[in-house]
Structure 1
Amino acid sequence: MYKQHTVGVVVPAYNEEGLVGDVLETMPAIVDRVYVFDDCSSDGTWAEIQRASARLNASRSSHVGDGREEFVITERHEENRGRGRCVKDGYRRALADGLDVVAVVDGDGQMDPDELHRILDPVVDGRADYAKGTRLKNRGDTNGMSRWRLFGNVVLSFLTNLSSGYWGLVDSQNGYTAISQQVLRELPIEKLYDRYGFLNDILTELNVHGFTIAEVPHPAVYGDEESNIRYTTFVPFVSLLLLWNFLYRIQKRYLVRNFHPVVLCYTVGITGLMLGAVGGITGLLTQTPAVSPVTVPAVGGFGILLFLLAIVLDIQQNSRLTYQSEPHPEPNRQRQ
C-alpha cells in the first residue's frame, strides 16, 4: 500500500528470459499485487516467471482484501496477442480486485522499480488521473538510447501529440504508467488497441474524457534486451491509428460537444496543404500546370497558416490537461 492506496502492477512480457525474473524480484514493498502476463513467448520467459512468482508467493503475501494470498498472479496467452492486450487483461484483473491505482512495468528491465513511487505520486495525490514516465526531459536520461531510437521517439511523440491533443507530452511512447481505478472504470478499455499502438490509443480516449496527465522524468535502463517491435507492420498500423484517433478526437471534442473554430482551421488548413501539394507535384510532372503558378504556393501557404493556427488553438484548449512533474533526484540523493 502507498499513501493509503492499494497498488497493483501489470507486467507484460514477451521473450524476456533473463530479465523478467529480476523485474518481479525487485518489486518494491509498496506494491500489493503483481499481474504478470507471458504473451506466448518462444523462449524460457514463462518458466522464469513461474520460478520467480513461486519464490515471491512463498515470501510475500498480498494485502488485497479479496481472500487470496498470492502476491504474484500469472497468466500465459496461448497465442501472441500484443502488449496492449496484456495491459488490458491486467487492468481488468486489478479492477476486479478493487485496487486503487494500477501501474505498468514492462518485463524487459528498462523501467527501474525504485522509480515507481514517483510515477504513482501524481495519481495518489490527486494531481492527475494518469501518470507516465518520460526519458526525454533530462539530457542525462537518454544516455544509452541509440540516436535512431531517440529520433523515432521524438517524431512519434509529436505525431501522437497531434493525434491525442496532449501537446505537453515529451515521451508519448513511454509505457511506465499509473492510472486510478476511477479512470479505468470510465474508459472503454476493451476497445483499445491490443498491440504496441495501445499507448497512443489510450491517450486519445483520456483526452476525449478530459482526464489530466502528469509526465514524470526518470532514467531508463538499457542492457542486452532487444525490441520486439516489427517496424514493417508497426509503422503503417500506428500511422493509420493516429490518423483515425485524430479524426475521432476532433469530432468528439470540437463537434459533438460544442463547435469550436479549431475544426474549421484544421479542415481548411489540411485541404489547402493537400491541394497545394497535388498542384505542385502535378506541375512538376507535366510541366503544364493546370492553374496559375502563383495560385499553387498561395493555396499551400494559406493551408500552412491555417493548420498552424489550428495547432495553436488546439494547444490552448488542452493546456490544462498536462503537466510536468519534478525532475528525479540525483543518483547520490536519498529518497524521502
Structure 2
Amino acid sequence: MSTTMNRTVSVVIPTMNEARNIPVVLAALPDYVDEVVLVDANSIDGTVAAARNARPDIKVISQTRRGKGNALAAGFEAATSDYVVMIDADGSMDPAEIDAFVRELDNGADYVKGSRFVDGGGSDDISPLRRAGNWGLNTLTNLLFLTSYTDLCYGYNAFRKSAIPSFGLAPAHTPAQKWGDGFEVETLINIRVARANMVVSEVPSFEYDRLHGESNLRTFRDGWRVLVTIVRERFSPQLPAMTRAARLSAALGSQVPVRAVDAAGMTPTRVNSAV
C-alpha cells in the first residue's frame, strides 16, 4: 500500500511462550511498520530472544501483572506512533491485513475492528460453542449500548494513539490485578470506544489456526468475564458522559454507527441495526 502519508504505525504484540510463532509473525509485518512493541509475560521458551533475532529493533516490555489486557495496556503505554495495531503472536492473524486497518484510519476512522463475521472474514479456529457465545454477547452489547458490532470478542484491532485515553485501562505497571487485565479487554475497549462517540469501522479478517502450541483462552471462564464486563459497564453508578448520550439516542431510536467495509475495500457503509 502507499506510504506517502505523513503518519507512523506501531504494532503491539503480547507474548507468552511463543518462540516458535513470533519469528513468523514478525517476518510478515508490512515494511512500513515503524515500531514493534512486544510485551512478554515472563516466557521461559526463548520468546524474547527469538523476537530480537527476527527483528533487532523490536522494543521489549515485561509485564508487571498477568493477562492479555495488562499486556496490551503496557504495550499501548510504550507505543509512540500515530496509529497502533494490536495483533496476536500465535500466527492466527494475517499481518498483511494491517493494510486494511491502516487504510481505514487514513480515511478518518478513529478505531478499526477486525471482524470474522462480515463478508470476506472467517475462521478456522472458532468452535460452534464459541461462535454461539460470541453471537450472544455481541447481541447483548449491541442492545445495551446501541452499537452495531458484528464481532465483539476478536482482538485484531487498530486505532489512533489519541484514542487510548478513552479506553480507560488501568496503569500497566502497578502490582495489584485490575479488571480488564484478562481476555475481557477487547470487550471493555469496544464498549468505551462507543461511549466516546468515536468513528468506528469494521474490516473483514480471517482467523487461522495458531501455528504452534495451545491457546490460553478458556471458553467458559473468559466468556463469563466478558459477560460481567458488559453488565458492569452498562450498570455502573458512575457512567461516562457518552453513556448518558447513548440513553438519549435510545429515546430517539438511533444507534452508535459502525462503518462496515467489504472485502474489496469499497466505500464504507453505515451499519444501522444491531446484529
Q: Same fold (TM over 0.5)?
A: yes
Question: Which residue of structure 1 lines up, in the alignment, with residue 140 of structure 2?
Answer: 159
* Aligned partner of 1:230 among 218, 229, 232: 218
**Structure 2 CA distance for partners of 1:73 and 1:158, relative to 1, 3 Å:** same
Q: Secondary structure at the match of 1:18?
A: coil
Deviation, 1:246, is: 1.6
Deviation, 1:196, is: 0.7
Could you report, residue by residue, the CA deviation over 1:9-57 in whole angstroms, capped at 9, with x for unpaired residues?
000112334212211222110100100112234x51xx13323323422
Q: How far apart are the structure 2 equivalents of 1:218 and 1:231?
A: 21
User: What amino acid sits opposite 1:218 in the alignment?
Assistant: S
Q: Secondary structure at the match of 1:122?
A: helix
Could you report, residue by residue, the CA deviation over 1:227-266 in whole angstroms, capped at 9, with x for unpaired residues?
2123453233322211111224995458855973847xxx
Alignment of 1:42-121 (within 5 A): 43-44=44-45, 47-57=46-56, 70=57, 72-77=58-63, 81-94=66-79, 97=80, 99-121=81-103
2:28 is aligned with 1:26? yes
Deviation, 1:156, is: 2.4
The unaligned stretches of length 5 or more in structure 1 are 58-69, 264-311, 330-336
Q: Is the 8 A contact 1:21 1:49 kept in 2?
A: no
User: What amino acid sits opposite 1:317 in the alignment?
Assistant: Q
**Greater per-residue strand proportion:** 2
2:255 is aligned with 1:317? yes
What RMSD, in angstroms, separates the aligned Cα atoms of the two structures?
2.9
Q: Is the 8 A contact 2:111 2:158 kept in 1?
A: yes
Q: How far apart are the structure 2 equivalents of 1:209 and 1:157?
A: 19
Q: Secondary structure at the match of 1:75?
A: strand
Could you report, residue by residue, the CA deviation over 1:151-182 in whole angstroms, capped at 9, with x for unpaired residues?
2222222233234432x211111111111022
* Aligned partner of 2:228 among 240, 245, 263: 240
User: What amino acid sits opposite 1:56 in the alignment?
Assistant: R
Alignment of 1:121-132 (within 5 A): 121-126=103-108, 128-132=109-113
**Structure 2 CA distance for partners of 1:34 and 1:259, relative to 1, 3 Å:** closer
Question: Which residue of structure 1 lines up, in the alignment, with residue 273 of structure 2?
Answer: none
The unaligned stretches of length 5 or more in structure 2 are 172-178, 266-275
Q: How many residues in Structure 1 have an aligned counterpart in Structure 2?
A: 255
Deviation, 1:226, is: 2.7
Q: How far apart are the structure 2 equivalents of 1:187 and 1:74?
A: 22
**Structure 2 CA distance for partners of 1:250 and 1:122, relative to 1, 3 Å:** farther
Q: Higher RCO, 1 or 2 (CA under 8 Å, sep at least 6)?
A: 2
Deviation, 1:185, is: 4.2
Q: How far apart are the structure 1 equivalents of 2:264 and 2:246?
A: 39
User: What amino acid sits opposite 2:86 in the alignment?
Assistant: V
Could you report, residue by residue, the CA deviation over 1:180-237 in whole angstroms, capped at 9, with x for unpaired residues?
0222245433377111111111122112211121010122221455321234532333
Q: How far apart are the structure 1 equivalents of 2:242 and 2:9?
A: 36
Q: How far apart are the structure 1 equivalents of 2:201 and 2:51?
A: 32
Question: Which residue of structure 2 lines up, in the alignment, with residue 137 of structure 1?
Answer: 118
Deviation, 1:110, is: 0.8
Q: How far apart are the structure 1 equivalents of 2:63 and 2:98?
A: 26
Q: Secondary structure at the match of 2:75?
A: helix
**TM-score under structure 2 normalisation?**
0.81
- Identity over the aligned pairs, expressed in percent? 24
**Structure 2 CA distance for partners of 1:83 and 1:173, relative to 1, 3 Å:** same
Q: Secondary structure at the match of 2:122?
A: helix
**TM-score under structure 1 normalisation?**
0.67
